[in-house]
Amino acid sequence: MLNINKTKEADKMTVALEGRLDTTTAPELEASLKEDLDGVAQLVIDIEKLEYISSAGLRVLLAAQKTMNKQGSMVVAHPNEVISEIFEVTGFCDILTIE
Amino acid sequence: MKSIKLDATIENLTEVLLFIDKQLMSENVGIRTKMAIDVAVEELYVNIARYAYAPNVGEAEIIVDVQDNPKACEITFIDSGIPYDPLKKEDPDVNLPAEERQIGGLGIFMVKKSMDDMRYEYKDNKNILTIRKVL
């Protein structure tokens, strides 16, 4: 289960995620981002309520980062301790801007 | 020791994770350990679902063995698909910038990093992969 809550203000979009970002839910986020990233210069992915992430989820974050590198900036906000550890082990803490 | 046999499909991932969580429920497993186990199970199971029998569907068996002294759990994945040893997969370079990062191999790398042991054998036309995590 993954809830995706998008809010847009001018060229800034915040995407709040809640639940699990895994093999079954990652395609939902990928499609949802693809739909709305046009014209976005600031993307904030708020994962305060995200409980779980697997490599399928990391893959979507990496793709979003690559897109945003071309058109603006991206921040991944409020990861919990366990997810922070996963970002560290996988080197994603150096690729993503984590706040 | 408990086991589950099912069609190795992506749709069945949730059922596999529920089965694993049920076996560990009474063991007082910390959230960090539980997530590491879930990630490992997802990566290994999804590999079977995607590649072992492609383009067909085949069966996967998953066995959970919770041990005492030291407290640990061993999870074994068995399939009769094409021989595949994930331990032979080269680790990705986790120091590359986003533009050069390839996502392939990241799942297995996460499993290797988070489990205490991982072993593979091919026997009687079956892939048998076991991971071990101290609880």
What is the gyration radius of the CA atoms in chain B, in angstroms? Answer: 15
CA distances from B51 to B37, B64, B104 (A): 21, 22, 14
Q: Would you give the end-to-end CA distance of chain B in angstroms?
A: 16
Ordered DSSP codes for B86-108:
GGGSPPP-TTS-GGG---TTHHH
CATH of domain B2-134: 3.30.565.10
Q: Where are the alpha helices (DSSP H) in chain B?
A: 13-24, 31-47, 106-114
Assign A52 to helix, strand or coil: strand
pLDDT above 90: residue A79: yes
Residues 2-31 of B with CB under 8 A from A: 10-11, 13-14, 31
Q: Which of A98, A77, A78 is nearest to A87 (CA)?
A: A98
User: Which residues of chain B make contact with A89, given a CB cutoff of 8 A?
Assistant: 94, 110, 113-114
Partner B contacted by A54 (CB < 8 A): yes
B117 vs chain A: nearest CA distance in angstroms? 17
Q: What is the pLDDT of residue B102?
A: 72
Cα angle B135, B103, B116; round to 5: 20
Q: Sketch out chain A's domains with CATH numbers.
A: 2-95 (3.30.750.24)
Helix B31-47 / helix A55-71 crossing angle, nearest 10 deg: 90
Report residue A25 as tokens. 């839910």
* Res B103: pLDDT: 67
Residues of chain B with pLDDT under 50: none
Q: What is the pLDDT of residues A15-35, one digit of tens each?
A: 999 999 999 999 999 999 999
Look-up: residue for tokens 């071309």? A70
What sign has the CA pseudo-torsion B13, B15, B17, B19?
Answer: negative
pLDDT of residue B94: 85
How many CA atoms, within 13 angstroms, populate the side-chain half-sphere of residue A85? Answer: 13
User: How confident is the model at residue B44, as a pLDDT?
Assistant: 96
The pLDDT of residue B93: 87
